[in-house]
Amino acid sequence: MRDDDVTDDREAKGTVGYLLETGTLKRAKRTGWWIAGVKDPETIAEHSFRTAVVGAVLAMMEGADPAKVALLCTFHDTQETRVGDIPWIGRRYIKAAPNETVTADQVADAYPVVAEGIKAIVAEYENGDSPEVRVAHDADLLECMLQGMEYLEQGYRNAQEWVDSTRARLKTDSGRALAAAATGLSSAEWQRTFLR
């Protein structure tokens, strides 16, 4: 077997390993909601999916690149396969490695083009100041606010603090507009369009 074949096999396995690792996000819960009393909170993957959709919508409204924002949102919490979802109160006591460091370890054995691409996405989300990065950060907040509103409907009164605190941190005009429009709507509001 040639050295190139061994390297290619290692990089293929490293890339698939990363993909398998991200699959654990489908089972990993967002632990901050436990503080609000939510017994079975959403998973990190569920949060990331809707964050990407919210991000694309906000990008359209803000004149940013929707595909770029959705990509940033998709990868924004992938490091939590290794460090978990540390709630804000926990960050006072636990110092996790920077997301860029975790990502570099996650993709260390992947194809170089894949590793560099993923590291660049995460670095941009963490350190960038483009319209796309600002929209992606607002998408993360707006998704959290929407999830909190859904938990409020389910009777978790302590979710109100999350709704209020995330709404207050929104920076884009579009994010604030959607947050205002969401206030008072039920999570089933969308289906009323068919009932008219």
- Residue-wise pLDDT for 15-59, tens only, equals 999 999 999 999 999 999 999 999 999 999 999 999 999 999 999
CB 115 within 8 A of CB 107: yes
Alpha carbons 62 and 98: distance in angstroms, whole number: 29
Q: For the whole model, what pTM was predicted?
A: 0.92
User: Is 109 domain-assigned?
Assistant: yes
At 43, is the secondary structure helix, strand, or coil? strand
As for how many domains the chain has, the answer is 1
User: Is 159 domain-assigned?
Assistant: yes
Looking at residue 146, its amino acid is: L
Residues of 156-181 as b/e, b for ≥16 C-beta within 10 angstroms?
Answer: beebeebbeebbeebebebbeebbee
User: Is 133 domain-assigned?
Assistant: yes
Model pLDDT, residue 187: 87
Alpha carbons 146 and 105: distance in angstroms, whole number: 32
**Length of the chain, in residues:** 196
At 29, is the secondary structure helix, strand, or coil? strand
User: Is 196 domain-assigned?
Assistant: no
Structure tokens at 51: 């964050």
Alpha carbons 72 and 55: distance in angstroms, whole number: 9
Q: Residue 74: which CATH number?
A: 1.10.3210.10
Structural domain of residue 85, as residue ranges? 3-29+38-185
User: Is 191 domain-assigned?
Assistant: no
User: Is 195 domain-assigned?
Assistant: no
DSSP H or E stretch at residue 168: helix 159-168
Model pLDDT, residue 1: 47
